[in-house]
Structure 1
Amino acid sequence: MNDTELPEALRSRLCLTADGLIPAIAQEAATGEVLMLAWMDETALAATLRTGQATYWSRSRRELWRKGATSGNTQQVRRLRLDCDGDALLLEVDQVGPACHTGAATCFTDGEIWADGEITADGEDEEDR
């Protein structure tokens, strides 16, 4: 096994998409706040496990990217969990700087569409539509 391969015991549990990807949810370890959703392939997961730094697969650029490599907004992984079906990962991380590429602390700060049984229409007031 080399540095880009996963242990077979883990690899056999993964349920990847047809594109060879698995969704990876990053969550702030200290607070439980959901930070972002990204994608990993086997190589990104192996790099994350090897280095402890969150590494993802960019679907738009079609390449690996280590979170914070250019921005400095890194994610040190404390714990990585595979869900019961093997089709999603949860990364508990120590986030340095904002997690979102927009500069927001989390990618889930805008766009509320439902709360307390009410549709909020993406956070817009009715008069704004």
Structure 2
Amino acid sequence: MNTSPNIDNYLVNHIERNQYFQRSINIYADSNHKDSISNFYCAASYEQILVNMISHIEGGQTAFTWTGPFGSGKSSLALFLQALVSDDKEIVKIASSKLSKKNKSVIVKHFNSKDQQWKTLNLTENT
């Protein structure tokens, strides 16, 4: 029986990984960077979080806490939300393009409305 590994069977030999994904998101360092948003994948669960937030905001809630284990996407989603409310039209356009057709209009209308003046404050250990 041949027990030596066949290197052709390793995924790394068949898939090229974007270097961007070699590290985690850093809210302090990645804030307002187009690359952070360009490489973001907005999962359906993230969109549902934003839709639920909109519902709660419309009901009068003004503060939210996101909790979860390390690597679950909290910082990525926070930067994505920051991009949606950005004053930089290019960043908003990139972020909006990541949303599904199903939720895009509701999310963009709420978070990038001229009627709302959103301000973001990044609270990290470096601020």
Tell whether the structures are fold-level matches, with TM greater than 0.5. no
Bigger radius of gyration among the two: 2
| Structure possessing the higher relative contact order (Cα contacts under 8 Å, 6 or more residues apart) | 2
Alignment TM-score, normalising by the size of structure 1: 0.23
